[in-house]
Every structure is written in C-alpha cells, then in structure tokens.
Copies of this chain bind each other. A is one copy, B any other.
Amino acid sequence: MELLEGIYTRRSVRNFSDSPVEDQHVMEILKAGSWAPSGLNNQPWRFVIVRDKGIRSGLAGLTRYGRIIEGAPVAVVVFCDREAMYHDVKDHQSIGACLQNMLLAAHALGLGAVWLGEILKNAEEVKALLDLPKQMELMAVIALGHPRDHNQSSSRKDLRDLLLKER
C-alpha cells in the first residue's frame, strides 16, 4: 500500500470477523508504533497485548465502547512510562504519533483498528486489571482484528478552514 493512499483510506474499524490476528502482525504493528519520533528520542510508549477473553471483558466493562473490545480478537493497551517522560504535552504528542503509526500499519497489513480513548476516565482501574506499576499512564486502547466491513466513509474540514495564515 502506498503511504499517502494509506493515510487517506484508513478508517476506524469497529466490527471485526472471527479470524484471529497473527502474532507477527501484532508485533509488526508494535514495531511501527515504536518508530514514531519522540522528543530527545525518549520513546516513552509501552504496550500490553491482550487476547484473553476474560481480560478483554474486564477492559470492556470500563468503557462505553466495550462492545468493540469484546468483538476484537486483540486489544493493545498503550501506556506512557512517566519515568521516561520529560514534558507532558510533548510526550502525549509522541504517543499520538506512535498510535497513528500503529493504525496505519494495521491498515497496510489489511487489518482494521480503532483508537479508543474514552476508557481514560478509568485509567486506574485499567492499571489494576493489568497489574501494572504506578508509573504507567494509560494513553489508549487499540482494538484490532480483521475488518468485517469496509467502505466506511469519513470526512475532514476543508484545508481553507485549517490554514490560518500564509506568510
């Protein structure tokens, strides 16, 4: 898949088939995430891969979008390691770059994915469920699987509304 085509045709995928996701594909997606840029190259992203149905149900109970996590064969829970961080805004931006690489990589591999952020309201409960140390700050859950449907439309503002000035 061409890079620009991938950026423009990526969509949030919320419905998945029952086909499992190969481990090597999950690892490729994590690797793509890890190649995001970060300030001082501090690479603050950390990952938990969840395939277990019981734990996915536990996660699902912590967000109003739980149905998506229950229906996805894999959830990747993404954290920011506060011990690696140096500037909250810049580190959160880097995590966003990492998440975007992961979504693009999933798309390039023919998989579907969606970035779930609503679960951040229950960050402490997610950490407890996964038994993670205090320094891990929940950033997002990516639900991942083979898309059940394609053809989803999306839209963006006109560039003229985003371009404040040219100097």
Contact = CB atoms under 8 A, between A and B. Distances in A.
Given A3-B3, A46-B162, A96-B96, A167 B30 contact: no
A105 B4 CA distance: 6
Contact of A167 (B8, B52, B98): B52
User: How many copies altogether?
Assistant: 2
A49 B159 contact: no
Contacts of A39: 117
Interface in A1-45: 1-8, 10, 12, 27-28, 30-32, 34-37, 39, 41, 43, 45
Interface of A: 1-8, 10, 12, 27-28, 30-32, 34-37, 39, 41, 43, 45-52, 55, 79, 87, 89-90, 92-101, 103-105, 107-108, 115, 117, 120, 130, 132, 136, 139-140, 154-157, 159, 162-167
